[in-house]
Chain A
Amino acid sequence: MGVLSRVAQGILALAMLAVIWGSFLYAKPAANFIGESSRIVFYHVPMAWIASLAFLLAAGYSALYLKRRRVEDDEAAAGAARLGILFCLLATVTGSIFARVMWNSYWNWDPRETSIVLLLLVYGAYLGLRGAVEDPERKATLSAAYALIAFVTVPFLMFAVPRMYASLHPDTVINSSGKIQMSSDIKLVFFSSLAVFTAVFAWMYALDRKVSRIVREAALAEEGAVAR
């Protein structure tokens, strides 16, 4: 491993420590929230943001696959979907903890809770489809088509349907008035947290790409050995 990536990892570790310290000790609890519950915003929102980013990547690489037919693009789409599910689950869990504190119930089928379950179902179905097809090229094409058709329904889940029903969910960061309503200390920690978690995601994604490549090359080498 190069010196440069070692240094980057060290900086990332220090930044993560600073964000954790800031989220609990520096930022003051926001008004209108019970007790310390507003601190979850430093973890919940980055998770949801990374999940959206991952699903965007999955759709983008799926479109690239259909255009260029390169196996790397298919692997990149699958890896992004896997990581997206992980972060989507973390967003669900952190949201559920917040719901317990604020609304006194871990789960009450709020429109937001319903739509995140559907999002998990969509990408669970995507991975299920990948598992059900043997032929690698057919698997890649069918799952790319499904990823794209699923991706166009995501805006309905995330934006249209929750807005049609009364939700207890606090205003999203990009809200209807187009302003970020946060005090300056919260804003500082929040955006640092967003940046740090995005960097962690980028690192995980790079590792995932590497693992997929090694697995593919190992399979090819094995095939070659059998043929000989």
Chain B
Amino acid sequence: MTGLSRSFVSEEEGGTAAPLRLTAPPAAVLLGKVLSNLVLLGVVSAFVVPLFLALMSFEIAGVPLFLAVLLFGGIGLGAASTFVAAIVAKTAAKGALFAVLATPLLLPPLVAAVTGTRIAATDPALSAGADVIRLLVAYDGVMLTAAFLLFDAVWRE
């Protein structure tokens, strides 16, 4: 999570933000950042999740539900934190502000993902977590749409 906040800060500090603003459309920049952050999240999850399951001897009954929660939860977390990172990169107090701004936005998908994981631990059926998946997919859609609509203003500032 803390790594994600750096994605725009490094561009601003390294002086690469201005050329990027000149050459690439804002939507392309945001898409690139969201995708690279999602890949990063995916790689981290691919290491951490099996390790956690093995070390905590935590058994998952509903593997499809668990994977769906990981996927859609990850997309929501990645999209929201990328957008907050873009805002934070323009301010003086970057790291501290990122935590303050991101926490309330990330809690709804986090709470839903925790609930989904709890259901997946005991119930093998995918349909048992349908509400959770629906909520996560809705959040992902809303967050991505809002981020693409608003990114233009933040990026050009």
Write the residues of chain A forming the contact surface with B, with a CB cutoff of 8 angstroms: 66, 118-119, 121-122, 124-125, 128-129, 132-134, 137-138, 141-142, 144-146, 148-150, 152-153, 156-157, 160-161, 164-165
* A149-B105, A152-B146, A161-B112 as given contacts; A129 in contact with B153, CB under 8 Å: no
CB of B101 within 8 A of CB of A160, answer no
CB of A129 within 8 A of CB of B104, answer no
Chain B nearest Cβ from A226, distance in angstroms: 24
CB of B107 within 8 A of CB of A118, answer yes
**Which of these binds chain A: B1-9, B40-48, B91-99?**
B91-99
Tally B residues with Cβ within 8 Å of A: 32
CB of A125 within 8 A of CB of B101, answer yes
Task: Write 11 A-B pairs (CB below 8 A) sorted by A numbering.
Answer: A122-B105, A125-B100, A128-B97, A128-B101, A129-B87, A132-B97, A133-B91, A138-B90, A149-B80, A156-B135, A160-B108
CB of A145 within 8 A of CB of B153, answer yes
User: Is B49 interfacial (CB 8 A cutoff)?
Assistant: no
Residues of B contacting A132 in the complex (Cβ-Cβ under 8 angstroms): 91-93, 97
Chain A nearest Cβ from B17, distance in angstroms: 14
Residues of A contacting B138 in the complex (Cβ-Cβ under 8 angstroms): 156, 160
CB of B150 within 8 A of CB of A145, answer yes
Residues of B contacting A160 in the complex (Cβ-Cβ under 8 angstroms): 108, 135, 138
Residues of B contacting A134 in the complex (Cβ-Cβ under 8 angstroms): 92
CB of A142 within 8 A of CB of B90, answer yes
Most buried by B among A137, A153, A157: A153
